Structure 1
Amino acid sequence: MAEISDPDIASFSIVDYVVFSLVLAVSIGIGLYHALTGGKQKTTQEIFVADRKMNSIPVGFSLLASWISAIALLGTPAECYSYGTMFWYICGSYIFMTLISAHLFIPTFYQLGITSVYQYLEMRFSVAVRLIGSIAFILYMVMYMAVVLYAPSLAISAVTGLDLWGAVLTVGLVCTLYTTLGGMKAVIWTDVFQTCVMFAGILAVIIHGSIELKGFGNVWKINEQGGRIEFDVFSVDPTIRHTVWGLIIGGTFTWVGNYGCNQASVQRYLSCNSLKQAQLSLYVNMILLYIVLSLLMMCGLVIYALYANCDPVTAGYISSPDQLMPFYVMKELGFVMGLPGLFVAATFSGALSTVSSGLNALAAVTMEDVIRRVFKNVAEHKAAIISRILACVYGLIAIGFAYLASQLGPVLQVAISLLGLIGGPLTGLFSLGLFFPWANKWGAILGSLCGFTVSLWIGFGAFVYPPIPTKLPLRTDGCLLSNDTNTESYSIETATSFLLGATTEATVPEPYPKIAELYSLSYMWYSLVGIVVVIVFGLLFSFLTGATNPRDLDPRLVCPVIAKVFCCCPGRCRSVKYCGVLHDRSLSEKNPDPYGQIPTSENGTVAADDTFL
């Protein structure tokens, strides 16, 4: 990684290290507190779902922190700086994602009282389908955490001189420690604290830039002149990187995979004390998503306005657009002792919150879907100890996989691509079970395999022949480069004048072979492609092998999606809306399964048999 060679850039002060260390100390302290109070994390229920006693506000903050992490803190401003404001349209996907997740997915999982969301797949289909889902989630989450670990370490390395892999190790070990000690309660409350730190770091950038440029109106004007303000790409071409339809429609299905059926999110819903609180947490999360995405895009606008005449990447001060935020903070805010430390702590917090969520989710899935199936009579206190060990082991694995993340490219696009390539087929698998009562186990097995095959084929092809997006022009006429060192001579006034000058010339790549056209699909559509493939082939194979009779299904396993979407239709349409499932035969608490379709466990939840297929 290139060193920042600008001699005017500030270095980390003692105050910065103190601020940074305090954030880490508070996070570890929260873990210790929850390890020593309450039930002291002696049961898997407390470790994984916080004894189901949380309310919507902290859970909503935790949901935000789980998926808006260091990747967003670094990648979103870089996206705006390099490609303009089209990415802002992804806000349109948040409302649809929230409605779908809160009212179609969450009720089923919450009312079943499960711990691992993949237990549902066994109840609905078979053990084999459950294992497919669990293994895919484990692989996906380990890779995602690796990207999240690498991103803040990149920032810290760029601005402090700390060894890159030393930073990776620090992030990984700190979040592994407090997650292992404090369980889900520690994860949720550290998420709340870390979210506040993230907001503070983001606001510092926006406020300082607006003051220096004499108002955000001037920031906007400079970006307009530089071609960054763009909201009019309405093309239906799926190969265009960002369009209104790709960001809203494709973004909806990408985020549904995160919030509707991802174990890390479902565990938070299950930690709430009621279904209403679980649903409300998603609406809290939605509001926070709008705020943080808008603030990060504003950061990108501020950074471009300040460096409009001297692109730090082209000038050689940094090696990647993902380093723009830390470069800006150290150069422009370094004169205020503590602010660089606050920003690095904010970036660190984004990684800690996401990785801790992933570790807890991975431990839960492995415990419930693997260990308890092999060793059916594990004592609760032993299960709690094993769960802590699992969280620790996965933390170490994620640290090892972080090296791969350093080879993959821009962090924001890599992260969303992972969500689509693996999260898409997983979402399709759950959708097949929840919304299509005719689907059977063979449809689920073969449909999911088809979905993963198509998604990974597209992803591998795009990695070998990556689509080359057209970056907006960048200028270097405000830079004065000497023969010996890269030094910079420009001011805020130079940026605001925005005189005509030299722009960055894009390197012309070697021509791709014809087959590369197959892999030019925008990464925003990856998730939807995976969902559609799983559902189409899942239904096809289900009908070929003997579709399930909807009347034979336990109503708790199927969401009456048509009835919920068209709730105003008259009662005589009910049988059509229910697609043959006997939803009218409501299940009482005293007799949770009066029709005997599926055996139940002692706690009243649905239990599947032990047949592998």
Structure 2
Amino acid sequence: MGKQPDARTFDVWDYLVFAGMLLISTAIGVYYAFCKKKPQTQKDFLMGGRKMTALPVALSLTSSFMSAITILGIPAEIYRFGAVFLMYGFSYVLMVLVTSEVFIPVFYKLGITSTYEYLELRFNKSIRLCGTFLFILQTVLYIGVVIYAPALAMNQATGLNLWGTILATGMICTFYSSMGGFKAVVWIHVFQAGIKVAGIFSVIIQGTIVEGGISNVLNNSYYGGRLNFWDFNPNPLRRYTFWSIVIGGTITWLGVFGINPAQVQRYNSCKSRFHAKLSIYLNLIGCWGILGTMTFCGLILYSRYHDCDPWTAKKVSAPDQLMPYLVLDILRDFPGLPGLFVACIYSATLSTVSASVNALAAVTISDIVKPLFPSLSEKTVFWLCKGTSLFYGLLCIAMAALASLLGALLQVAVTIFGVIGGPLLAVFTLGILVPFANSIGVFVGLIAGFIASLWVGIGAQLYPPLPEHTLPLKLVTDGCNMENIPLEAPLSPNAFEIHNVERTPLMDNWYSMSYLYYSPVGVFATIIVAIIVSLLTGGRKQVIDKRLLLTKEDFLSNFDFLKKNKVVNQQLYVIEGNGTKPDQRTNESTHL
């Protein structure tokens, strides 16, 4: 191995490929904004008129799942901790089953734009607003990481201007999200999925060739301890085990695919519930494919640098920069291919940001603006959707500055989803599955769960777990003719870490818990407290509309296709005062 790439920047072909991706993405947004018949209603702008089919929606789900954090973070984690990460394949299956059979049936039959409308239908307006503001906080923080982190990696590995790249990414994405609406976002995701596949496979193919074939990659990984798939250690302090990935991963991703408005908005854009469910099952295939390719990228990364680690050799300043470093190492002699990989990274960023900005606009209009100003005309709401998308796009660019103070990409992203998303997932689960859960119990439970998950999440940022808990695998620099440097510091230090403090049992146990368990902590704390308080405050006496609960009929309706000409009436609801009533304007029948 041994050869390390010299510092370099893009050549002309790299810039042309990268610029071409940005221009085509922008052109699709322009097409849907000006060339196609302009959407005139909030429903058209935010949900594509509820006429989407399963395949483009599934590609959109998969494309936004394959974020820049996935492309940069997963290979770096496998490089450091091994291929046990592949166990996520099991958690994806559980996540898809629960999403399709618990959450989609309820959300689709209500026909809601924002999932937080459900919280007012099931509980009250206060719970809805709590959920809305927590979602906005979670999404803005997450998108700050999504925008900043890949720009930082590209800047330090290729010389591209950091803030210029951030601004270009954010502005282009904000433009096509705010101008083209939901259909533009979905079809741009489809285009960008192709770019990401091309970029990743260029790395896999050339990396395999450079390393002398798949057998050499696996052989180096095996002797380096990276093929550690079956780790069943139940210790919750271990960063990655079968249990932390399957339990923590399932609950964390349920908070993303099960209740997150960015995903539910896409399910509800489908023309039937069958297409909505099919989209999430097709997305499972995409998730498996992404996980497999990212795992192999991580193994190629280790095989390439198994005797000369660029991080401990000070060639890169963080593990998240290893993938761009590898690209410049193995693709530097192929004009345009480094640019294709950068286009892949930024396609991933654009996909995630655009989906989230569109969802933020939907939630804000549905949960905040329309309840406050119910008499607004459709045309006014339509333009407010555009303005809100623009506002959130600019806000997320500003939040990228905060992301510069945080640590490793993947851990920060999952921490955000865990700390905030865990309690929110519990609230929806209680609403759908626990008939006696009432608004008082859920509110108290939400506060308790948020405090518990926030406590462990902030504590871990201030006092990161020691290597003896996370057990990073060995890295060496013998091939660089340098002294072997053991890893003494945490995986990726952050600006909030407190140094030179005596470790306490609280730090070495509670704060050292695997970050994958943050979401389960929030979920279980919320559910336990909510159930106790609901039972003490008369929850069993309340009468709940069965349409707001998961019923036996929801499951049995999966087999309606066996009944000839079966028509299922889809009753949409509008919120009126403290209750609900059918919205006669949007009543429609759906053939399954």
Same-fold status (TM-score > 0.5): yes
1:67 Cα deviation (Å)? 2.5
1:37 Cα deviation (Å)? 4.0
Please tell me whether the aligned partners of residues 109 and 571 of structure 2 are also in contact (alpha carbons under 8 angstroms): no
Q: What residue is the counterpart of 2:536 in the other structure?
A: 544
Q: What residue is the counterpart of 1:489 in the other structure?
A: none
**Which has the higher Rg, Structure 1 or Structure 2?**
1
Pairwise mapping of residues 377-388 of structure 1 onto structure 2 (< 5 A)? Answer: 377-388=375-386
Please tell me whether the aligned partners of residues 110 and 573 of structure 2 are also in contact (alpha carbons under 8 angstroms): no
Can you list the C-alpha shifts for 1:337-393, whole angstroms capped at 9, x where unaligned?
A: 000000000000000000001100000111111111111111111111111111111
- State how far apart, in whole Å, the 1-side matches of 2:418 and 2:571 are: 41
Please tell me whether the aligned partners of residues 179 and 186 of structure 1 are also in contact (alpha carbons under 8 angstroms): yes
- State how far apart, in whole Å, the 1-side matches of 2:522 and 2:328 are: 41
Q: What residue is the counterpart of 2:474 in the other structure?
A: 473
1:42 Cα deviation (Å)? 2.5
Please tell me whether the aligned partners of residues 190 and 353 of structure 1 are also in contact (alpha carbons under 8 angstroms): yes
Please tell me whether the aligned partners of residues 53 and 270 of structure 2 are also in contact (alpha carbons under 8 angstroms): yes
Can you list the C-alpha shifts for 1:233-290, whole angstroms capped at 9, x where unaligned?
A: 2011212111101111211111111111110000000111100000000011100000
Q: What residue is the counterpart of 2:583 in the other structure?
A: 602
Amino acid at match of 1:518: W
What secondary structure is seen at the aligned counterpart in 1 of 2:480? coil
Pairwise mapping of residues 237-316 of structure 1 onto structure 2 (< 5 A)? Answer: 237-316=235-314
1:405 Cα deviation (Å)? 1.1
Amino acid at match of 1:523: Y
Can you list the C-alpha shifts for 1:29-62, whole angstroms capped at 9, x where unaligned?
A: 1101111244413221111100011111110111
Tell which deviates more after alignment, 508-517 or 392-401: 508-517
Please tell me whether the aligned partners of residues 571 and 582 of structure 2 are also in contact (alpha carbons under 8 angstroms): no
1:556 corresponds to which of 528, 547, 552: 547
Please tell me whether the aligned partners of residues 19 and 345 of structure 1 are also in contact (alpha carbons under 8 angstroms): yes
Can you list the C-alpha shifts for 1:459-494, whole angstroms capped at 9, x where unaligned?
A: 11111111132321111111157xxxxxxxxxxxxx
Please tell me whether the aligned partners of residues 197 and 342 of structure 1 are also in contact (alpha carbons under 8 angstroms): yes
1:504/1:277 CA distance change after superposition, 3 Å: same
Pairwise mapping of residues 187-202 of structure 1 onto structure 2 (< 5 A)? Answer: 187-202=185-200
Pairwise mapping of residues 61-76 of structure 1 onto structure 2 (< 5 A)? Answer: 61-76=59-74
Amino acid at match of 1:475: V
Q: What residue is the counterpart of 1:144 in the other structure?
A: 142
1:592/1:401 CA distance change after superposition, 3 Å: closer
What secondary structure is seen at the aligned counterpart in 2 of 1:599? strand
1:506 Cα deviation (Å)? 2.1
Amino acid at match of 2:76: A
Please tell me whether the aligned partners of residues 44 and 383 of structure 1 are also in contact (alpha carbons under 8 angstroms): yes
Is 1:163–2:161 an aligned residue pair?
yes
1:223/1:13 CA distance change after superposition, 3 Å: same
1:282/1:592 CA distance change after superposition, 3 Å: closer
Q: What residue is the counterpart of 2:342 in the other structure?
A: 344
What secondary structure is seen at the aligned counterpart in 1 of 2:59? helix
Can you list the C-alpha shifts for 1:15-40, whole angstroms capped at 9, x where unaligned?
A: 11000000000100110111124441
1:562 Cα deviation (Å)? 11
Unaligned runs of 5+ in 1: 482-501, 569-585, 607-613
Can you list the C-alpha shifts for 1:583-605, whole angstroms capped at 9, x where unaligned?
A: xxx99669999xxx953143378
Q: What residue is the counterpart of 1:357 in the other structure?
A: 355
Amino acid at match of 1:139: L
Q: What residue is the counterpart of 1:182 in the other structure?
A: 180
What secondary structure is seen at the aligned counterpart in 1 of 2:198? helix
TM-score, L = length of structure 1: 0.88
Pairwise mapping of residues 314-333 of structure 1 onto structure 2 (< 5 A)? Answer: 314-333=312-331
Please tell me whether the aligned partners of residues 307 and 478 of structure 2 are also in contact (alpha carbons under 8 angstroms): yes
Please tell me whether the aligned partners of residues 92 and 250 of structure 2 are also in contact (alpha carbons under 8 angstroms): yes
Amino acid at match of 2:539: A
- State how far apart, in whole Å, the 2-side matches of 1:560 and 1:175 are: 40
Q: What residue is the counterpart of 1:505 in the other structure?
A: 486
- State how far apart, in whole Å, the 2-side matches of 1:108 and 1:364 are: 19
Can you list the C-alpha shifts for 1:175-207, whole angstroms capped at 9, x where unaligned?
A: 001101111001111111111111111111111
Is 1:236–2:248 an aligned residue pair?
no
Q: What residue is the counterpart of 1:15 in the other structure?
A: 13
Is 1:533–2:525 an aligned residue pair?
yes
Can you list the C-alpha shifts for 1:398-441, whole angstroms capped at 9, x where unaligned?
A: 11111111111110111111111111111000001000000111
- State how far apart, in whole Å, the 2-side matches of 1:408 and 1:235 are: 29
1:133/1:60 CA distance change after superposition, 3 Å: same
- State how far apart, in whole Å, the 1-side matches of 2:138 and 2:108 are: 23
What secondary structure is seen at the aligned counterpart in 1 of 2:56? helix
Unaligned runs of 5+ in 2: 491-499, 560-566, 588-592
Aligned residue pairs, count = 560
- State how far apart, in whole Å, the 1-side matches of 2:48 and 2:554 are: 33
What secondary structure is seen at the aligned counterpart in 2 of 1:505? coil
- State how far apart, in whole Å, the 1-side matches of 2:58 and 2:552 are: 24
Please tell me whether the aligned partners of residues 65 and 350 of structure 1 are also in contact (alpha carbons under 8 angstroms): yes
- State how far apart, in whole Å, the 1-side matches of 2:571 and 2:294 are: 50
Please tell me whether the aligned partners of residues 572 and 586 of structure 2 are also in contact (alpha carbons under 8 angstroms): no
What secondary structure is seen at the aligned counterpart in 2 of 1:314? coil
Please tell me whether the aligned partners of residues 173 and 350 of structure 2 are also in contact (alpha carbons under 8 angstroms): yes
Please tell me whether the aligned partners of residues 311 and 474 of structure 1 are also in contact (alpha carbons under 8 angstroms): yes
1:9 Cα deviation (Å)? 4.4
Can you list the C-alpha shifts for 1:47-87, whole angstroms capped at 9, x where unaligned?
A: 11000111111101111122220000000110111111111
Q: What residue is the counterpart of 1:110 in the other structure?
A: 108
Can you list the C-alpha shifts for 1:80-129, whole angstroms capped at 9, x where unaligned?
A: 11111111111110111101001110011111011111010000000001
1:82/1:591 CA distance change after superposition, 3 Å: closer
What secondary structure is seen at the aligned counterpart in 2 of 1:299? helix
TM-score, L = length of structure 2: 0.91
Tell which deviates more after alignment, 19-28 or 245-254: 245-254
- State how far apart, in whole Å, the 1-side matches of 2:37 and 2:103 are: 30
Q: What residue is the counterpart of 2:432 in the other structure?
A: 434
Please tell me whether the aligned partners of residues 43 and 380 of structure 1 are also in contact (alpha carbons under 8 angstroms): yes
- State how far apart, in whole Å, the 2-side matches of 1:312 and 1:561 are: 56
Q: What residue is the counterpart of 1:576 in the other structure?
A: none
Q: What residue is the counterpart of 1:409 in the other structure?
A: 407
Please tell me whether the aligned partners of residues 473 and 503 of structure 1 are also in contact (alpha carbons under 8 angstroms): no
Q: CA RMSD in A?
A: 2.3
- State how far apart, in whole Å, the 1-side matches of 2:170 and 2:571 are: 46
Amino acid at match of 1:446: V
Amino acid at match of 1:224: Y
1:458/1:589 CA distance change after superposition, 3 Å: closer
- State how far apart, in whole Å, the 2-side matches of 1:137 and 1:591 are: 23
Is 1:523–2:524 an aligned residue pair?
no
1:548 Cα deviation (Å)? 4.0
1:605/1:47 CA distance change after superposition, 3 Å: closer
Amino acid at match of 1:522: S
Q: What residue is the counterpart of 1:218 in the other structure?
A: 216
Please tell me whether the aligned partners of residues 435 and 561 of structure 1 are also in contact (alpha carbons under 8 angstroms): no
Please tell me whether the aligned partners of residues 92 and 248 of structure 1 are also in contact (alpha carbons under 8 angstroms): yes
Please tell me whether the aligned partners of residues 358 and 389 of structure 2 are also in contact (alpha carbons under 8 angstroms): yes
- State how far apart, in whole Å, the 1-side matches of 2:569 and 2:398 are: 49
1:480/1:450 CA distance change after superposition, 3 Å: same
Q: What residue is the counterpart of 2:590 in the other structure?
A: none
